[in-house]
Chains A and B, each alone.
Chain A
Amino acid sequence: QVQLVQSGAEMKKPGSSVRVSCKASGGTFSTYGISWMRQAPGQGLEWMGGIIPIFGTANYAQKFQGRVTIIADKSTTTAYMELSGLISEDTAVYYCAREGLGGGVPHPSYLHYWGQGTLVTVSS
């Protein structure tokens, strides 16, 4: 059974950066994409970007280009999302999710397994 366990809640100052981890267990790590989403309080889901670990190159939503970095460490089966230049509007729960279609072929996919979410609060 695939499980994604995310790092704990973070409190950050405006202008700083935050890094959230997503440790995967069960199943194959390298050939399934990992996506990152966020959900502001009372709001819907927003896709930020994703990576297929075996390829190592991430794709990002235009809104977050230049501010977000997603990497995957195959040796520890852990994905990371770093968001810089934090503002109060970045206060949200951040989720990682593993895609349902793997096989090491680049293709779009639904999001099958989700982490528990990490609350990031940005406040002075």
Chain B
Amino acid sequence: EIVMTQSPATLSVFPGERATLSCRASQSVSRKLAWYQQKHGQAPRLLIFDASTRATGIPARFSGSGSGTEFTLTISSLQSEDLAVYYCQQYKEWPPMYTFGQGTKLEIK
């Protein structure tokens, strides 16, 4: 099983500042990496797929980068509505054995 590790567990950022979230895979997943945003009491929402492609309707302040085992989600200018938990997910293998990171909770200072 590919283990996904996210850091930090909690990140506190001022509005307008940059937030950088990390995700590491225990083995290479190439660029088969997605990021999801989950606001309190809601279902997750797809932000980024294939490591760096924004999903439809996702604001340009969200960007993804990385390949292999190291990935980053960057929010360039934090807005109050970005308060959420962010998860990474790998989808490298077939038959599927999808795994998620444990999440990064993003707080607004």
Contacts and interface: CB of A to CB of B under 8 A. Distances in A.
Interface of A: 33, 35, 37, 44-47, 50, 59, 61-62, 95, 97, 100, 106-117
B96 A108 contact: yes
B97 A61 contact: yes
A107 B87 CA distance: 21
Given A45-B44, A95-B43, A100-B49, A108 B98 contact: yes
B49 A46 contact: no
A95 B87 CA distance: 15
Given A100-B49, A112-B46, A114-B45, A44 B87 contact: yes
A115 B42 CA distance: 10
| Majority secondary structure of chain B interface residues (helix, strand, loop or mixed) | loop
Interface of B: 1, 32, 34, 36, 43-46, 49-50, 55, 87, 89, 91-103
B100 A107 contact: no
Contacts, number: 68
A74 to B, nearest CB: 20
Given A35-B98, A45-B87, A111 B34 contact: yes
Contacts of B50: 110
7 contacts: A44-B101, A45-B103, A47-B98, A50-B96, A111-B46, A114-B45, A115-B43
Given A44-B100, A107-B94, A112-B46, 13 more contacts: A44-B101, A44-B102, A47-B97, A47-B98, A47-B99, A47-B100, A59-B97, A108-B92, A108-B93, A110-B89, A111-B98, A112-B55, A117-B43
Nearest to A6: B43
Contacts of B97: 47, 59, 61-62
B49 A114 contact: no
Contacts of A117: 43
Nearest to A108: B91
Nearest to B55: A112
